[in-house]
Structure 1
Amino acid sequence: MLRLAGRAVRQVGYLYEAAPWRLGSTRVATTGLDFQAGDPAEMVIIGGGCVGVSIAYHLAKAGMPRVLLLEKSELTAGSTWHAAGLVTLFNTGINFKRIHEYSLKLYEQLEQETGQAVSLHLPGSIRLAFTPDQVDEFHYHKTRSRWMQAPMEIIGPERVLELCPIANVDKILAGLYTVRDGHIDPYSLTMALAAGARMHGAQLQQKTPVTGLEARTGDGWNVHTPQGIIKAKRIINCAGFWAKEVGKMAGVEHQLMTVHHQYFITSSVPEVAALQREIPVLRDIEGSYYLRQERQGLLIGPYESKETMRLQDDWMENGVPSGFGKELFESDLDRLMPHVEKAMEVVPVLKDAEISRVVCGPIIYSPEPLPLVGPYHGPKNYWVAVGFGYGIVHAGGVGKYLADWITTGEPPYDLIEADPNRFDAWATPHYARAKASESYGMNNAVMYPKEERFSGRPTYRMSGVYNILLDKGGSMGFHSGWEQPHWFSRPGQEPSYRPSFRRTNWFEAVGRECKLVMEKVGVIDLTPFGKFVISGPDSARLLDSLCANVVPAEGRTVVSHMLTPRGRVYAELTISHLDDSFFLITGSGSEFHDLRWIKHVVAGGFTVHVKNVTEEQGVLGLAGPYARHVLRRLTVEDLSDSAFPFMSCRNIMISGRPVTAVRISYTGELGWELYHSNVDTLPLYMALMEAGKEYGIGDFGTYALNTLRLEKGFRAWGAEMNCDRNPLEAGLKPFIKMKKDADFIGKRALTEIKKAGLQQKLVFLIVDTDDIDAEGNETVWYEDEVVGNTTSGAYSFTSIQSIAFAYVSTALATPGQTLHVELLGKRYPARIVQDPLIPTEARRKSERYEARLI
């Protein structure tokens, strides 16, 4: 036994068998249906951890026949068997709360369904705050959870002590208490899911490694195993820390890192043994560790800093050693001692506790702390569910999510934060290593609005003006590998990232930039946009089927939306018709998300060529009342309203360089987006700046752009619209052409939605705040009832007030209606007004013209 008091601790060597406290067993077939002959398997799941087995369970339960799971060694081998088993409703995201909620509900009834014990404990959990910022974070998360039905309660030190009598609460300011949280035995959970999968007809085959993957001509896969070749319509990579090798077999490079995660369990502690009830799981934000009761002892799992944590680098280079399954790494308790000492301050009984068991096991991180979940944009019918740093709590919900997607043909709700297509070649091994270290080390860091993390940056995705914008005071944000200015500091001011839950150092700068665009002229780097060229004989027919708006005539641009079959907003695009091709633009975070969907539809029978030109082309946006004056100095083209009207596009020369100019601006002001070869970005930028000197030209960033688009009532994909929303409730009716001849995807569903009537509508709010503005996903109240949520918000520098978009019930969606928006624990009065708050430049010009006619 090893005492924790003092730092004289020994290393614990390798363990080679499943830890003896793991309980439960079930018989899992190694033979059965012959998938080497006859009809191919509908789905082959590669990997038998809790996530893979959950997917098998949910697919089989949904009625999918011939579901086969292949495990190279034994179920739970890899990361599952040694996990600490924490389950919680808490998540800093929004839709991942749905994943967690479903998992907990499933785990509560799984034993009754399958007859297999899962050893689920639900003593609750408490996140501990020691600083005012951490208390602010609790309020931030609480208001973002009310409308998601993930109940949390902020409690004081006295209540913390009542729930956890062995805690020292002297320095604790507050706790975020979640009643239904706890922990589960991962081995037993996986065996229960396996039993359920077999009950519903799935086959789980152990000791069957996948040795090769071969895409069949036309459709499907040949899955090579030592027992022979299995034909599959689809495959899903759930291979944990073997996922890189499986990906390579399919021709995909997944940047996944194996992390050494350590925790230890004490022997029986008298004070713990004397407790009347199990203590809640404690999560210490300051000390960066979790602590829970394990029988009559304690289990403590620290998350070390990025400087001290360990990655299994050689696996990144050389792959996982053959035969590695239920092994552990050698532990290093010295790395844990700073966290253990913090834990001793909060739970003093640890000082005299003795270690009975140490676990240092491999867990997997993507470059971000979220997994890769869904279909991949490269090989057809290749799906992934990999990179789970928190696989136990995610397993149930992700299994259900993917089963619904696979069986219905579209995601049941938006989960783009876990989209496997959010990374591409720019996410190099160097980047993945740096980000995985950062994500693990900041696992318990305070999560701020507008969060920025800087490891691994910049990548090679830098526009031609990156360095000059940096020198001019640009505070850079990260957008799918690109660096893009969020705001610009004044000369002598440090453009530093100062996170806060309230208005911070960027606030005044954003006001200056909004004024610049509204009164003069500004330039913004929009290079991170996703850009696709679609050409070929079926191009127009494809877009007519793919998008809800009409196909633009040559020389024209439209804003259009790709809908899912059930009528949800999958994506928003601008489509420009140039010569014999179409130019499609999407947001930076949607590049491969949208490209995958387009190619999926193309595969249904369209003769077109789709080319991704995102990295080949730069984009500069020019906006403001003097935008036309600036461009006229650089081109011979007629830029008048009659010759170059709003929402038109053409190929022109600017400063001697070829440019595709689109008369559009997300600011809602007079402007153009200028698309060009990336080698021309810097000279074009310099030419614009020189030509605009006498008009007071300047730079503006994405924060000002967001404020300006909100003032104009422009919706944003990922905020006001996504796969959770239909375009009618989002106020997108002008872009949905129900009467066009083409039977576009989602049209029939929209007809039914319209017939049934809307339950919620998007409204525009003026919010009476002080030093804080809505960010999105805050709770909206009517009297004492939760009635909706914000989607985005900002301070309007044009109208001098705080504004926000929000979804509320249709019964309340009336201009003049008073509501309240909850921000950091306080409810602020909010009034619904008709959007847009500020008319666009085109609308203002039209109104002035109409007034003259009158």
Structure 2
Amino acid sequence: MSPGSPETSRNRSSEQSGACDSLRIQKDSRVLRYGIIHAGGVGKYLSDWILHGEPPFDLIELDPNRYGKWTTTQYTEAKARESYGFNNIVGYPKEERFAGRPTQRVSGLYKTLESKCSMGFHAGWEQPHWFYKLGQDTGYRPSFRRTNWFEPVGSEYKQVMQRVGVIDLSPFGKFNIKGQDSTRLLDHLFANVIPKVGFTNISHMLTPKGRVYAELTVSHQSPGEFLLITGSGSELHDLRWIEEEAVKGEYDVEIKNVTDEVGVLGVAGPHARKVLQKLTSEDLSDDVFKFLQTKSLKVSNIPVTAIRISYTGELGWELYHRREDSVALYNAIMDAGQEEGIDNFGTYAMNALRLEKAFRAWGSEMNCDTNPLEAGLEYFVKLNKPADFIGKQALKQIKAEGLKRRLVCLTLATDDVDPEGNESIWHKGKVVGNTTSGSYSYSIQKSLAFAYVPIELSKVGQQVEVELLGKHYPAIIIQEPLVLTEPTRNRLQKKGGKDKI
């Protein structure tokens, strides 16, 4: 069974497991034909994958599950021509390529938002990166330095920090899992505990070697029924893993991929509660609708699954709804928020906000090259839970042997360039690590980045250098997070007032 099969899959027998693995490997070997020059490396990694159940390095950039039903013949032809023509051009950070776009996979808000923003391509979806205002340069201006989106993104950052913003999160991968073995399956898959009914948590699936295969939010909607959310680029990557484990373990579960059917709106900022409360009879107060709770309710008479969570780290909700209701829900929220100065924000602003809160991102701070301990994810890994989750024994050994490197947060003063990820970290004339992601921090007006460094260089206050465009910029490791999350600020304020914050 693979994600290419019908979207609702029922576990049938263990005999499917071998067939599934065989099909997956055959499929991967076909897609991974990357040219003669790459053949030796690809062959080795495939053989390691077959023999050991996972490759020695993260290979998601070559994963055939990057593509789905939206990858039509017309799209493939357009992309083949574009890719060949761009074979020797210089690539830019945040680069977009436009052939074959948009695909059939657009959110319910695409027509509403397309003229207001610069869209980015995410697993077939079009998602707003940043929004423009009257008189601003709306062109596509890729650059290694700060370009025309820099000031608009700063405005969106302030919008979320000071008022309230709305973001289209429909590209999230979304899976419904239910059945008499659903809890047992997820307890085997995830290193975290299973959340109580009505609550959500952040959980990680690990490989047998203890590396981070995936990060998802797990919402326990009703006894034995779960909603799992992952990033757009990880949809089929994660679904494949879940389905294969369900088959191998003979779990009696039903797994349904509802990614294309369900739209998502994020509402975040200090006035988020005030705006949404106008549209629902459900009590959204902090004591009644707690952080990480999930509830089914109606917003402007539209059924939604509301989760009190936001990747911005500010007060916010994610509203899961039928895709066909997206425009009506969006318009109702925007109308209700006029008094509070509501406005849109995109993924560039969200990235700056999440970095200041020290939120990790799968594919950057963690992937199949990293373990959760060095990535600073200990809070989400429960080595003492009874279930023998995948990677548990390997992780215990990693912990016993001690870490060799650690993820740190650092600030650096640059001129007009910001780290993006994969830049070299220097110390005393040697390369000692690399950044994983970065952005401009609009709160301290400096560059901010995550980076992996040797454990002996990971203490707060340690000075290093980051190489950007051939120049070494001084950087310092800081105590994370740079900005406390809204739930933390709220809790500290209740305990000790503003002085404690």
* Correspondence for 1:431: 75
Give yes or no for the alignment of 1:445 onto 2:89: yes
Give the counterpart letter for 2:105 in structure 1: R
Give the C-alpha shift of residue 495 in structure 1: 2.5
Please state whether the residue corresponding to 1:695 is helix, strand or coil. coil
- Please provide the CA RMSD for this pair: 1.6
2:229 aligned with 1:585, yes or no? yes
Structure 2: distance between partners of 1:461 and 1:584: 20
Deviation at residue 218 of structure 1 after TM alignment: 4.0
User: Equivalences for 1:380-395 in 2 at 5 Å?
Assistant: 382-387=26-31, 390-395=34-39
Task: Find the counterpart in structure 1 of residue 270 from structure 2.
Answer: 625
- Map of 1:541 onto structure 2: 184
- Aligned position for 2:437: 792
Q: In structure 2, how many angstroms separate the alpha carbons of the residues matched to 1:848 and 1:633?
A: 26
Cα deviation, residue 477, structure 1: 0.2
The residue aligned with 1:493 is: 136
Q: Deviations over 1:407-458 (max 9, x none)?
A: 1112221111111001111011111110111001110111001110000000
For residue 599 of structure 1, what is the amino acid of its counterpart? E
Pairwise CA distance, 1:664: 0.0
Which one-letter code corresponds to 2:436 in the other structure?
Answer: T
Q: Secondary structure at the match of 1:836?
A: coil
Is the aligned partner of 1:641 residue 2:286? yes
Written as runs of structure 1 = structure 2, the 5 A alignment for 1:378-417 is 382-387=26-31, 390-417=34-61
Question: Deviations 1:747-795 (Å, cap 9, x if unpaired)?
Answer: 1011000000000000000011110000000000011011100000000
What's the secondary structure of 2:177's corresponding residue?
strand
The residue number in structure 2 matching 1:77 is none
Q: 1:484: which partner in 2?
A: 127
- SS state of the match for residue 385, structure 1? helix
Specify the alignment match of 1:576 in structure 2: 219
Structure 2 counterpart of 1:777? 422
Mapped to 2, the partners of 1:539 and 1:751 lie a distance apart of: 26
Counterpart residue identity of residue 429, structure 1:
T
2:200 alignment partner, one of 548, 557, 574: 557
Query: Is 1:837 aligned with 2:471?
Result: no
Equivalence for 2:448: 803
Q: Distance in 2 between matches of 1:775 and 1:587?
A: 19
Show the counterpart of 1:192.
none
- Judged with a 3 Å threshold, the aligned counterparts in structure 2 of structure 1 residues 682 and 782 are, in CA distance, closer, same or farther, namely same
> How far 1:388 sits from its partner (Å)?
6.2
| Distance of 1:414 and 1:514 partners within structure 2 | 32
Partner deviation per Cα, 1:608-635 (whole Å, 9 max, x = no partner): 0000000000000000000000000100
CA separation in 2, counterparts of 1:655 and 1:433?
43
Structure 2 residue aligned with 1:679, among 294, 315, 324?
324
Question: What one-letter code is carried by the residue in structure 1 that aligns with 2:174?
Answer: K
| Cross-structure match for 2:164 | 521
Distance 1:789 1:837 in 2: 20
Corresponding letter in the other structure for 1:721: M
Q: Residues 674-753 of structure 1 correspond to what in structure 2 (within 5 A)?
A: 674-753=319-398
Distance 2:190 2:420 in 1: 29
Aligned partner letter, 1:622: V
2:138 and 2:231 map into 1 onto residues whose CA distance is 25
The structural deviation recorded for 1:496 is 2.1
Task: Show the 5 A alignment for 1:106-125.
Answer: none
- Amino acid of the residue matched to residue 517 of structure 1? V
* Structure 1 pair 544–693 and aligned structure 2 pair: CA distance change class (3 A): same
CA distance in 1, matches of 2:203, 2:313: 17
The structural deviation recorded for 1:234 is 6.1
Match of 1:466 among 87, 110, 116: 110
Query: Which residue is equivalent to 1:455?
Result: 99
Q: Secondary structure at the match of 1:487?
A: strand
Matched, 1:511 2:154: yes
Q: Deviations over 1:558-597 (max 9, x none)?
A: 0000000110000000000111310000000000000000
Looking at structure 2, the residues matched to 681 and 793 of structure 1 have their Cα atoms a distance apart, in angstroms, of 31
Tell me which amino acid in the other structure corresponds to 1:464. G
Deviating beyond 6 angstroms after TM superposition, the runs of 4 or more aligned structure 1 residues are: none
Q: CA deviation at 1:217?
A: 6.2
Instruction: Report the secondary structure of 2:329's partner residue.
Output: helix
Give the CA deviation at 1:219.
5.5
Check if 1:755 corresponds to 2:407.
no
Instruction: Give the equivalent residue in structure 2 for 1:656.
Output: 301
Quick check: 2:32–2:62 contact (8 Å CA) kept in 1?
Answer: no
CA contact (8 A) 2:33 2:39 kept: no
The runs of 5 or more residues in structure 1 that have no matched partner are: 1-215, 222-232, 237-374, 376-380
Matched letter for residue 591 of structure 1: E
Rounded to whole Å, the distance in 2 between the matches of 1:235 and 1:694 is 58
Q: Distance in 2 between matches of 1:741 and 1:436?
A: 50
Q: In structure 2, what is the Cα distance between the partners aligned to 1:591 and 1:696?
A: 34
Q: Whole-Å Cα distance in 2 between the matches of residues 219 and 589 of structure 1?
A: 25
Q: TM-score, normalised by structure 2?
A: 0.94
Distance in structure 2 (CA, Å) of the matches to 1:399 and 1:504: 41
Matched residue type, 2:59: L
Could you say which residue in structure 2 is the equivalent of 1:418?
Answer: 62
Q: CA deviation at 1:383?
A: 3.2
> For 1:167-246, what aligned pairs fall within 5 Å after superposition?
218=16, 235=22
Q: Deviations over 1:512-542 (max 9, x none)?
A: 0000000000000000000000000001101
1-structure distance, mates of 2:156, 2:497: 32
Q: Deviations over 1:799-827 (max 9, x none)?
A: 21110000000000000000000000000
Aligned counterpart, 2:10: none
Distance 1:234 1:536, change over 3 A: closer
Q: Deviations over 1:434-489 (max 9, x none)?
A: 01110011101110011100000000111111111112x21000000000000001
Q: Percent identity?
A: 60
Match for 1:527: what amino acid? S
- What is the CA-CA distance between 1:390 and the residue it aligns to? 4.6
Quote the residue 1:81 is aligned against: none
C-alpha spacing 1:389/1:442, structure 2 compared with 1 (3 Å) = farther
Q: How many residues align?
A: 485
- Code of the residue aligned with 1:708 in structure 2: it is L
Partner of 1:615 in structure 2? 260
* Deviation per residue, 1:323-354 (Å, 9 max, x gap): xxxxxxxxxxxxxxxxxxxxxxxxxxxxxxxx
> Structure 1 residues 745, 218: closer, same or farther in 2, change over 3 A?
closer
More relative contact order, 1 or 2 (CA 8 Å, 6+ apart): 2
Equivalent residue, structure 1, for 2:9 = none
Alpha-carbon distance in 2 for matches of 1:506, 1:852: 37
For residues 543-563 of structure 1, give each alpha carbon's deviation from its aligned partner in whole angstroms, at most 9, with x where no partner exists.
111001110110000000000
Take 1:461 and 1:771, find their aligned partners in 2: how far apart are those partners?
36
